[in-house]
Amino acid sequence: MNAHTLATDLILQDLFDCLLAEDIFAPLAVTLAAAAPEHPAILQPAAPEERLWECCCDPREQRFIAARVRPGITQAWVKVPGTPLLARQGDAWSTLTPDAFVTLVFAQAAADPEQARGIALLRETLATSLRQTRLSLERPLVPGPLLEGDGQAAFLQLERWAALRDRPYHPLAKAKLGLSDADYQAYQAEFGQAVRLAWVAVRRDQLLCGEGLAAEGQGPAADLLTPAALAELQAELQQRGVAESHLALPVHPWQLAEGLPGRLDEAFASGVCQHLDFAGARCYATSSLRSMLMEEGAGVAQLKLPMAVHSLGASRYLPAVKMINGSRSEALLRQARTLDPVLAESLHLCDESRWWAFMPPAATLFDEAPRHLSAMVRGYPAALLAEPDCRLLPMAALGTPLPGSRRHFFDDWLAARSLAPTSANVQLLLGELCHSFIDLNLRLFRLGLLGEVHGQNAVLVWRAGRIQGLLLRDHDSLRLYVPWLERQGLADPQYRIKPGHAQTLYHEHPRDLLFWFQTLGIQVNLRAIFETLASCYDIPLTAAWTLLREVLEERIATLDFDAEARALLRETLFEAPDWPQKWLLRPMIERAGGPGSMPFGKGRVVNPFHQVSHAP
């Protein structure tokens, strides 16, 4: 397939499956039956379990949408991969584009002014996702050897690999609203282009800093720049006469040109903020557009910056309140490690305590404008990237297939262990991966906390052919059940939360905390890895899910849970007929843009282990 056709196919698959799982079609007349002889050949089943799915989206005009579906694992039915969506009116059939499909599905809802704006945003984002996915696919990524040479170079290769898909199963994940095609190719990780940072001097008395940092220091420049570059920056500050009064913050070049104007004009006009000429630092984007690895500098550091790009239904700014909460989460995680010797050895944490944020005297933590000028220096455990036999594996890279290729990190892993690339050996390694990931997350759950372990935040630590542990980053989304924390002698970190606004950090029941592991950890992260391995090594998907159940059962039985927690895990994971699901598109349509985190909603889908047990 060419890039446009492949992009359309990928997005249609995720779009249809997502709308089906979120019950978008519930108000419409839907039938599920065997295809009739008069239906087009593309709708005829290729396997006994396939069905014809048909939806009447416009009863008055008698307009229908038809698809070929088969039983899924994480939802009851999914579109058969590689098949189109068709529209029918009378005896006339036509193939649907993603936009035409959405237009038909929401034809009646769009007549409601309250929904029309959200649907318009959905269509705009969908068009951007399609265009930018095509741009990414037009330039094939060909990773080199991952176990030879420098660990940081391999890490960056894997980050670029992960960026190709961004968030699995999200049809709008690739869309970065606000970036032109040229910007997208200049700043998105998979294109491998160096980004030259801009710098702004900010009055020291109008900065908030991470705990233990002083606004009187050299700021992020000392962590990011070589000695020569740091001297050049300091010389410009001296020449401008602001070396004592101001501190230099890095700014993404797109943010400087597009994000700051109109938001902080008064601060720049008054001299509180000043543009600098210094541009002596380059970096490379990772799978998260605004988190970048320095080309060279003082140590192993990743820079996270705000960007007023709209992605995943939210603006990608970087507010001080998020960094305050992240620092509190990190401190809590470090305390938790001391309570469990396995966590102490195998749970690794990025240092996210070094941050700086513009905060004018009259502003609050919840104002929008200041959150567009800030910076965080994320420190990685230096030994992990320095050890020659250690690799950091962003789990998203393991769950991202390379278009037109069957290349996977497991190729390197099998070779490192002198194992033939057989189904049995791939399942052996997958079992080791699942054991480490499940074990560490259940140990955290036992203490009353869970990280946001989708594939972009969760990084496996691979050492000499074995998964040694898990590295967590983006600590601002640590989820808690306080009664279990306090039972272990841990204290509520007292997150700063905007009064009257919904929050997803505190939970009233351990089942609500487990939601995040079921959805982001399993339904997104592990599912993507299972499906990618199945396509690369011809492993039955049912075998991967069966293996996961065995690992979960063994860990739940072995770890030191009390009877109540163990019963909760078994009932929620294995016995319940359904699982929770994190909605993606419904909340986006309802909010229709605006400030805030990624729109959030909950639904229910089938229990994947029940689906596997009934699979043909």
Distance CA 514, CA 97 (A): 37
Using a 10 angstrom Cβ sphere, with 0-12 exposed, 13-18 middle and 19 or more buried, the burial of residue 239 is: exposed
Distance CA 174, CA 16 (A): 16
C-alpha distances in Å from residue 318, one per residue of 172, 305, 307, 366, 409:
21, 7, 8, 11, 32
On average, the pLDDT of the chain sits at: 94
Q: Is the dihedral of CA 307, 308, 309, 315 positive or negative?
A: positive
Domain boundaries, the chain: 3-111, 149-318+351-379, 385-613
Distance CA 534, CA 577 (A): 26
Using a 10 angstrom Cβ sphere, with 0-12 exposed, 13-18 middle and 19 or more buried, the burial of residue 180 is: exposed
Using a 10 angstrom Cβ sphere, with 0-12 exposed, 13-18 middle and 19 or more buried, the burial of residue 571 is: exposed
Query: Do the bridges between strand 351-358 and strand 374-379 make them parallel or antiparallel, or are there none, so unpaired?
Result: antiparallel
Instruction: With beta carbons less than 8 A apart as the criterion, state whether 177 and 314 touch.
Output: no
Share of the chain above pLDDT 70, in %: 98
DSSP reduced 3-state for 565 = helix
Q: What is the 3-state secondary structure (H, E, C) of 56-85?
A: EEECCCCEEEEEEEEECCCCCEEECCCCCC
DSSP reduced 3-state for 378 = strand
Distance CA 253, CA 268 (A): 16
Q: Is the dihedral of CA 172, 174, 177, 181 positive or negative?
A: negative
Give per-residue pLDDT as tens, 450-463.
999 999 999 999 99
Give per-residue pLDDT as tens, 62-115.
899 999 999 999 999 999 999 999 999 988 999 999 999 999 999 888 788 888
When pLDDT is cut at 50, 70 and 90, the band that residue 28 belongs to is confident
Put residue 418 in one of left, alpha, beta given phi > 0 → left and psi -120 to 50 → alpha.
left
The pLDDT assigned to 596 comes to 61
When pLDDT is cut at 50, 70 and 90, the band that residue 127 belongs to is very high
Distance CA 487, CA 485 (A): 5
The pLDDT assigned to 616 comes to 66
Looking at CATH, the fold of the domain delimited by 385-613 is given as Transferase(Phosphotransferase); domain 1 (1.10.510)
The pLDDT assigned to 368 comes to 87
Correct CATH for 3-111 of 2.40.360, 3.30.310, 2.40.50, 1.20.120: 3.30.310
Query: Do the bridges between strand 578-583 and strand 601-606 make them parallel or antiparallel, or are there none, so unpaired?
Result: antiparallel
When pLDDT is cut at 50, 70 and 90, the band that residue 615 belongs to is confident
When pLDDT is cut at 50, 70 and 90, the band that residue 299 belongs to is low
Any idea which of 123-127, 215-219, 389-393, 514-518 has the lowest mean pLDDT? 215-219
| The pair of three-digit structure tokens given for residue 402, joined into one six-digit string | 């390379």
The pLDDT assigned to 490 comes to 97
| The pair of three-digit structure tokens given for residue 333, joined into one six-digit string | 């995680």
Give per-residue pLDDT as tens, 492-507.
999 999 887 778 999 9
Any idea which of 90-94, 243-247, 252-256, 427-431 has the lowest mean pLDDT? 90-94
Question: What is the secondary structure of 248-312 as a DSSP string?
Answer: EEEE-HHIIIIISTTTSHHHHHHTSEEE------EEEE-SSTTEEEESS-SSSEEEE--EEEEET
| The pair of three-digit structure tokens given for residue 101, joined into one six-digit string | 């499909």
- Type and span of the H or E element at 450: strand 449-450
